[in-house]
Chains A and B, each alone.
Chain A
Amino acid sequence: EERNNQVQRFRARLSPGDVFIIPAGHPVAVNASSDLNFVGFGINAENNQRNFLAGEDDNVISQIQNPVKELTFPGSAQEVNRLIKNQRQSYFANAQPQQREE
């Protein structure tokens, strides 16, 4: 039996009162278009670990060893490391498009 798993993107606008489910193991990001406040109820929470895919702290991509990065990504390990270091914040970051200094 051949399994053909494709990546699928789910997006939603959030307003007060909205509910959204984040299944375990699924990457998620939240962007605030105004000051945003939400609560989260985590079920099956014992020994849960939150793994970040960008930023400096708790970033699991930066924990991959260099030889493995070389094989995993098209760029070299140095290029991947340089790219990861670009985001100096952790957990929360500025989402405004940066104006390039001319």
Chain B
Amino acid sequence: VSSESEPFNLRSRNPIYSNKYGNFFEITPEKNPQLQDLDISLNSVEINEGSLLLPHFNSRATVILVVNEGKGEVELVGLRNENEQEN
């Protein structure tokens, strides 16, 4: 076994972004050997009612978002490549 196998808690560290509109907790592969083995990061995000997680993008990571609680709207910007429609 190349890394510790103890469970860890996402919320045991301070959030990386926090203000009165929301909190963003994250553990990256750099901080945890188990995650480093998988090249995965974990985050837990709380957004308060009527608030917005500002527009941003991730340079390398593709993120799979799973909703736990509450309602909201996500907006993603992509490019439509017209060449693909010829298939």
Q: Which residues of A contact B (CB under 8 A)?
A: 1, 3-55, 58, 87, 89-96
Per DSSP, chain B at the interface is: strand
| A23 contact set on B, CB distance < 8 A | 62, 78
Of A17, A33, A40, A44, the residue contacting B60 (CB under 8 A) is: A44
| A6 contact set on B, CB distance < 8 A | 79-80, 82
**Which B residue sits closest to A61, measured CB to CB?**
B55
Q: Is B7 an interface residue (CB 8 A)?
A: no
Contact residue range for chain B?
35 or more
| B43 contact set on A, CB distance < 8 A | 39-40, 42
- Does B41 lie within 8 Å of A92, measured CB to CB? no
- Does A8 lie within 8 Å of B77, measured CB to CB? yes
| A52 contact set on B, CB distance < 8 A | 54-56
- Does A95 lie within 8 Å of B45, measured CB to CB? no
- Does A10 lie within 8 Å of B80, measured CB to CB? no
- Does A17 lie within 8 Å of B67, measured CB to CB? yes
| B46 contact set on A, CB distance < 8 A | 35-37
In the bound complex, CA of A18 to CA of B70 (Å): 11
Shortest distance from the beta carbon of B15 to any chain A beta carbon, whole Å: 10
- Does B73 lie within 8 Å of A31, measured CB to CB? yes
Q: Which 10 A-B pairs have the closest CB atoms?
A: A45-B41, A92-B22, A92-B21, A95-B52, A36-B70, A42-B61, A91-B17, A42-B41, A32-B47, A48-B61
